[in-house]
């Protein structure tokens, strides 16, 4: 019965056109192939659906009854297929992301409003976690992580520039401590809450920054983390 849907759809076109020649042209198949398909459908159903003459084709009483029930069903199927095709043009659905807490503030929140305006039919489900996560096992679609922590069999797309670490101290601290000029100058001390002063700017190491990453569809392929 797996061919029934296609053959039933073809049957409606034959009945509408009342001609195997015109219906075949509309379907993009040969007239003989279409005629054979209709005979196979009638044989499986055990009913004659089309009355054939040398000049025309018309539905029988059984065929007319079938068409009345078939037309609304095929119309619903066509609408469902059309809606599915629209998803290629208009992204929609739910995306599950896992993101470190710091990246939530730096990467997601600044872009969230614009993302919602651009893709109103996408629902973001974001989990903030600093723990290592197996995306596939936990059923996440993607994650955001620092480049050096992403497994090399993942596909990774940069979402921030390279970053630098910063050494900072409170103004209160520097009232009683000299500003360090090199790492060896650092002394133990307590950094209070409030404004901070950045020091040792020439000693700040860079790191790759954050990437959006997700599993490759081909598990055997290996994809290095791209630098940009």
User: Could you give the CA distance from residue 181 to residue 225 in angstroms, rounded to a whole number?
Assistant: 35
- Structure confidence at residue 37 (pLDDT): 92
Torsion, Cα 125 131 132 135, to 10 degrees, reads -10
- Range list for CATH 3.40.190.10 in the chain: 93-165+205-215
Query: Which of 73, 5, 65 shows the shortest CA–CA distance to 41?
Result: 5
Q: What phi and psi values does residue 156 have, to the nearest 5 degrees?
A: -125, 135
pLDDT per residue as tens digits for the range 83-133: 777 767 777 789 999 999 888 888 888 888 898 898 888 899 999 888 888
Computed over every residue of the chain, the mean pLDDT equals 82
**CATH architecture for segment(s) 93-165+205-215:** 3-Layer(aba) Sandwich (3.40)
Contacts of 98 (CB under 8 A, 6+ apart): 126, 127, 128, 129, 133, 135, 138, 140, 143, 144
- Range list for CATH 1.10.10.10 in the chain: 4-89
Interval 52-71 mean pLDDT? 90
- Helical packing angle, 4-17 and 20-27, nearest 10°: 130
Give the pTM: 0.47
Interval 201-211 mean pLDDT? 76
User: Could you give the CA distance from residue 152 to residue 228 in angstroms, rounded to a whole number?
Assistant: 15
User: How is residue 213 written in tokens?
Assistant: 């990453």
What residues pair up with 157 in beta bridges, in sequence order? Answer: 212
- Structure confidence at residue 95 (pLDDT): 92
**CATH architecture for segment(s) 4-89:** Orthogonal Bundle (1.10)
Question: What is the 8-class DSSP label of residue 198?
Answer: E
């Amino acid at each position: 019965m797996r061919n029934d849907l296609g053959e039933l759809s073809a049957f409606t076109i034959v009945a509408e056109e009342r001609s195997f020649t015109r219906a075949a042209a509309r379907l993009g198949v040969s007239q003989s192939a279409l005629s054979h398909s209709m005979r196979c459908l009638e044989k499986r159903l055990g009913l004659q659906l089309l009355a054939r003459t040398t000049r025309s084709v018309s539905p029988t009483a059984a065929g007319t009854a079938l068409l009345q029930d078939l037309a609304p069903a095929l119309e619903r199927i066509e609408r469902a297929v059309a809606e599915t095709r629209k998803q290629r043009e208009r992204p929609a659905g739910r995306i599950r992301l896992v993101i470190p807490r710091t990246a939530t503030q730096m990467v997601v929140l600044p872009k969230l409003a614009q993302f919602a305006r651009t893709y109103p039919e996408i629902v973001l489900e974001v989990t903030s976690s600093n723990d290592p996560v197996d995306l596939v096992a936990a059923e996440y679609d993607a994650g955001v992580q620092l480049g050096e922590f992403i497994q090399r069999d993942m596909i990774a797309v940069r979402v921030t520039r390279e970053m630098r670490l910063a050494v900072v101290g409170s103004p209160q601290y520097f009232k009683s401590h000299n500003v360090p000029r090199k790492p060896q100058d650092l002394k133990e001390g307590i950094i209070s809450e409030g404004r901070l002063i950045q020091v040792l700017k020439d000693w700040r190491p860079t790191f790759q920054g954050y990437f959006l990453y997700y599993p490759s569809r081909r598990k055997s392929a290996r994809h290095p983390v791209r630098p940009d």
